[in-house]
Structures are given as C-alpha cells and as structure tokens.
Structure 1
C-alpha cells in the first residue's frame, strides 16, 4: 500500500509522522476487511477486519466459505431491519454448494459414480466404463444451490449474483477502491496500528454520498447493458450469384 514514487521532504527526520514514509523492505502485514453497505452508506456493525496469515497479497486465500457464513449469520443478517436484496460476486467463498447439489468430478471413483447415479434413480448401463458413468453424472448435474443463498432467503432476503468479471456492477468494489487510495496516500509508519488507523479514517471518508454515487454508477452500467442486450447491427442486402 505505497506509491512507487512520491515527492518527499528530505529535510524532515525519518521519525516524522507526517513527512516521512518508512516503507518496509518486505511485503509487510496484510489485513482482510469485510463489510456491507447500501446507497445510505456502510451498515453499522457489519465491518470485520483481521490480519491475514499470508503476505502474498492475494486475499482470496484468507477467506473461506465457513468464515463468510459465520460473518453473515452472526453479524450482517441480524442488522437488517427490512427485506433486502444482497449483491454477490463470483468469488469462490460465495459459491459454496450444498451437499445435495455436488456433482462427481474426474477424480471420483467408479464405485462412487455408480452410487451417485443409483441414489438419484438414474439408470446405470451394464458394463459402463468410468468415463461413460462420469458423462452420465454430468448430464444429470443438479441445478446449483448455494449455502449462502439458502441462508439469506431463510432470513427473508433475496440474492442477486453478478456475472463473472464485471466488478463495475458491484458498488462496493468502487468503495474499496476509494478506501485503498486513502490508505495508500496516508500510510507512513507501515505498522499494524498505523494501518488500522488509516483503515478507520478511510471508512469515515466513504460517506453516504460516496456510496450513493457508487450505487448510481453501477446502476447506470446495468441499464446500459440491458438497453443494448439482444441488439444486433443491421446487415445489408446479400446478393448471391448462381452459376450453372
């Protein structure tokens, strides 16, 4: 979280808290931040922040479906006072399938493939090979049901899942970008305490106006995609000359 180049005042001592940046030689510590928000701002009490075990920079390895469900049930859902629509991306921890919807994979044993088919009363051809059984399983793959979706609906809310690789449709991605810019420009000590303090500042800077603007921008993208859906460019007349 530091700029590769920046103007500095070399006359200031290295211990200065405002005019020097003690950038560590290594990656330093990483924090994972989880929160939810609406056009009115962050949902009070929904924030979760904890230090990552890895310094690889890839936060996906620090979040699991089990951890996200605990945050969902213990924090977020209890804070929602009215029926809401939750927007979810395509991250792996959002897509934890219920056991009944799991389909065998290429590593599944032949006996387990047969058992999977028999439990669903799907005919198993005599003498079928393992690839044939796997293909039959895939042809009868159940419609996916996600653990998160079921929990959210049990609490009286609804879910909207975004298509892959479309962060512009998710307002919170714009909010995270705003917070990261502040942390990147204001971090000086590169310690855990300094990072946490800058994160709290960044969260306060993301006011309801910032959230409302992010939501509007995502909706504008959505409206643009909807208006252009199924629109094809006109094709002129095609002349085919037949030769005998």
Structure 2
C-alpha cells in the first residue's frame, strides 16, 4: 500500500558488537602473528544504530556507534529514549530524501509517549493524579481514593501518540511498528545477524 503511494521503506534497528569479536575459525597461517590474542567477546562493547532501504542499503550519515558503559548484559540497557530520539530527529529524518515509511520494533525507547498523552498510573502519588484531573477539568472529590481517581483517569485517557510518530509526521513520513517478538519482519536484522 505505502509503496504504491510512492513511499520509500526504511528499516532501522540497533545491535552490539564486542571490540574483539571474531569468528571461531579463521584462515591464517599456523605461524601467523595476526591471530587474535584476546578471546572473542572480551573487551569494550560497541552499540550500533543504523537505518537502511532496499534501494540504498545503509543510509549515509545515519550511523550511530558508541561505547557501552558496561561490558556485558543486554545492550538495551545502554540505549534510551533520549539517545534514540536525538538520533531519529537529527540524523535519520534529515537523511531521508523522499516520503518514507519507517519500520521499527517495539523497544520501549522507540515508543516514548508525547507529554500530552502521558497519564498518571497507580504507582503515582494521589496528588499527581489529582493534579492531572484538575488540568483536564475532570471533577473529583478530595476524599476520592487512588483507585477511584485512577478509574477517572482511565476513562479520560487521550489516545496515545508517540514522539517518533509525531516527529515523522511533521517531516512527511509514517512510522510502522513490527508486531512484538517478530524481528524477522525487519530485514535489517539479517544485516546484524
């Protein structure tokens, strides 16, 4: 549908690689001094974020590579919405030459709500819930309990809008999310593999 309308399809995702990453087997002479001295997977971890299209491959100027603060664990702990949204707005969007459909997964930092669509939850203090209700001109009694206040909030929750969607729309693009746990629908995963 989007391709028929002239949209370019852009795939993006992040991955990681260790500084000393190597394959288990290499073609090197047995007396070679070029063989790695450090075991594969040891050393600094680099986090890589990039985007590409089927026509262009990886898009020039859209690479973000940085050293992780920790050497092990899940790289998703190192990536956050601030880093991602900065890259999305200041590297990816300016690099897109035509109206595009931007395909991404459901990582939490891809799905940061806009301030207008963020609502209190049951973990918030009662005063925060009351303040939100006042700002939205929704009546409540001072004696209302948190569960009662939260029910009122749920009934008046605005439709969720994500910052990535809003930024993309402002620049003539559309965001399309893959279903949860279906990374095979994003071809950039094959590059990372």
Match of 1:236 in 2: none
1:53 aligns with 2:85: no
As a proportion of its length, which structure holds more helix? 1
Q: Equivalent residue of 1:132, what SS?
A: helix
Equivalent residue in structure 2 for 1:28, among 17, 26, 43: 43
As a proportion of its length, which structure holds more strand? 2
Q: Following superposition of structure 1 onto structure 2, how do residues 65-76 of structure 1 map, counting pairs within 5 Å?
A: 65-76=81-92
1:89 aligns with 2:105: yes
Equivalent residue in structure 1 for 2:126, among 89, 93, 110: 110
Q: Equivalent residue of 1:50, what SS?
A: strand
The answer to whether the Cα contact below 8 Å between 2:122 and 2:146 also exists between their aligned partners in 1 is no
Q: Which runs of 5+ in 1 are unaligned?
A: 178-244
1:121 positional shift = 2.3
The answer to whether the Cα contact below 8 Å between 2:22 and 2:40 also exists between their aligned partners in 1 is no
- Cα distance change on mapping 1:7 and 1:147 into 2, 3 Å: closer
Q: Which runs of 5+ in 2 are unaligned?
A: 1-20
| C-alpha distance after superposition, 1:80-120 (max 9, x if no partner) | 11111101110111011111111112221112212211222
Match of 1:169 in 2: 185
The answer to whether the Cα contact below 8 Å between 1:30 and 1:57 also exists between their aligned partners in 2 is no
What value does the CA root-mean-square deviation take over the aligned residues?
A: 2.3
**If you compute each CA radius of gyration, which structure gives the higher value, 1 or 2?**
1
Report the TM-score, using the length of structure 2 for normalisation. 0.79
Instruction: Tell me how far apart the structure 1 counterparts of residues 28 and 97 of structure 2 sit (CA, whole Å).
Output: 50
| C-alpha distance after superposition, 1:38-95 (max 9, x if no partner) | 1121112211212111112411111121111221222221111111110111011101
Q: Following superposition of structure 1 onto structure 2, how do residues 181-220 of structure 1 map, counting pairs within 5 Å?
A: none
Instruction: Tell me how far apart the structure 2 counterparts of residues 89 and 44 of structure 1 sit (CA, whole Å).
Output: 21
1:128 aligns with 2:144: yes
The answer to whether the Cα contact below 8 Å between 1:31 and 1:49 also exists between their aligned partners in 2 is yes
Q: State how many pairs are aligned.
A: 172
Equivalent residue in structure 2 for 1:80, among 62, 85, 96: 96
The answer to whether the Cα contact below 8 Å between 1:97 and 1:144 also exists between their aligned partners in 2 is yes
1:9 positional shift = 7.6
- Cα distance change on mapping 1:139 and 1:56 into 2, 3 Å: farther
Match of 2:158 in 1: 142
